[in-house]
Amino acid sequence: MEVTDVRVALRAPVARTGAGERRPGEQRLKAYATVTFDHCFVVRNIKVIEGRHGPFVAMPSHKTKVACGRCQFKNDVGSRFCVQCGSRLPPAAVAPEAEAGEASAHRDIAHPITAEFRQYLQAKILDVYEAERTKTTMGVSSSLSAAHEAI
Ligand SMILES: [Zn+2]
């Protein structure tokens, strides 16, 4: 299988000041990628995240939900109380997959199953991401100088 197209949409930098504190995870999300495989299959919402050791790719995922025993409302895994009726969720529902935390609360919707393909895919996406970042910083400076000339 081959990656035949990669589109990367950079995320606008998040302002550090102002109301509504952002969680660190939101600051680290740098871009969304849309990838085409073999000219015929598209996966959207692949994330580029700035990690401690450089950017890496996270596959699209959804939050796993757990139904409340009383009202059947589907709550995020990790919640201790039902958002709808306020009843306490059983501890088993809090961490159904042994390992607690972020990993068990999110499940990949689509993902490579071999390490080779994961690396290949990540390299393809990060190439475009880096190119897009360079283009953007250059674009900003050239439009700035254009504005100066207008004045
Ligand atoms: Zn409930």
Give distance in angstroms: CA of 124 to centre of ligand 1: 44
Which residues have CB atoms below 5 A from the ion given as ligand 1? Answer: 68, 70-71, 73, 82, 84-85
Give distance in angstroms: CA of 75 to centre of ligand 1: 8
Residue 94: pLDDT over 50:
no
CATH classification of 1-15+25-60+109-130 is 3.30.1120.40, yes or no? Answer: yes
**Each residue of 8-44: pLDDT tens digit?**
999 877 655 555 555 555 678 999 999 999 999 999 9
In the chain, what are the domain boundaries?
A: 1-15+25-60+109-130, 63-101
For 27, residues 6+ apart whose C-beta sits below 8 A from its C-beta are 14
Per the model's pLDDT, the better-predicted residue between 13 and 88 turns out to be 88
pTM (predicted TM-score): 0.68
